[in-house]
Amino acid sequence: MWNVISDWLDHPATLWGIDQSSYSGLSNRVAIGNEDGSSLYLVHVERLQLLIGRKAPEYPDSKRGVRGEFSYRGAIYRMDVTDPRIETAYLARPDGRYILDAPVLCVSLGDPYQGYFYKLIATVLHDGRF
């Protein structure tokens, strides 16, 4: 399957725009009404950096989580990873940065929240997963 995944890839110009960021993200949200009609993209990136640790270290009650940072068509994105296999595997590791080369990401829009749809890495597909 991995050798034919390129047939399924999407190629949008951006992942729902690049001008909206939250406190701990980069280009990780889109205002309600500005989405493009799609709620899911399957895209290939050269490198995914997984950031393990608290999203907001200056706040003691900040939850530990997994975020992914990557470049797509020249824009940098940083968003939450909700892939259960990735979360389980990487939350078991020490806080830090981990690299996955050449993954395919299933990026989705979450439910509306306070005027925005937040972008999420729903699935991380990579050679070692198959």
Query: What confidence score (pLDDT) does residue 48 get?
Result: 98
Q: What is the per-residue pLDDT across 40-58, written as a single tens digit (0 to 9) for each? A: 999 999 999 999 998 777 7
Count of C-beta atoms within a 10 Å radius of residue 23: 8
Assess whether pLDDT exceeds 70 at residue 130.
no
DSSP codes of every residue in the chain: -GGGGGGG----SSSS-SS---TT-BS-EEETT-S-S--EEEEE-SEEEEEEEESSTTSTTPPEEEEEEEEETTEEEEEEE--HHHHHHHHTSPSEEEEEES-EEEEEEEEEETTEEEEEEEEEE-GGG-
Q: What is the pLDDT of residue 60?
A: 74
Tell me the pLDDT band of 63, cut-offs 50, 70 and 90. Answer: confident
pLDDT at 67 exceeding the cut of 70: yes
pLDDT tens for 1-34 read 567 888 999 999 999 999 899 988 999 999 999 9
Distant-in-sequence, close-in-space partners of 72: CB < 8 Å, separation ≥ 6 = 14, 15, 43, 45
CA distance linking residue 49 with residue 8, whole number of Å: 23
Residues 88, 124: Cα–Cα separation, whole Å:
13
Residue 10's pLDDT is what?
96
Domain spans of the chain? 2-129
The predicted structure's pLDDT at residue 128: 73
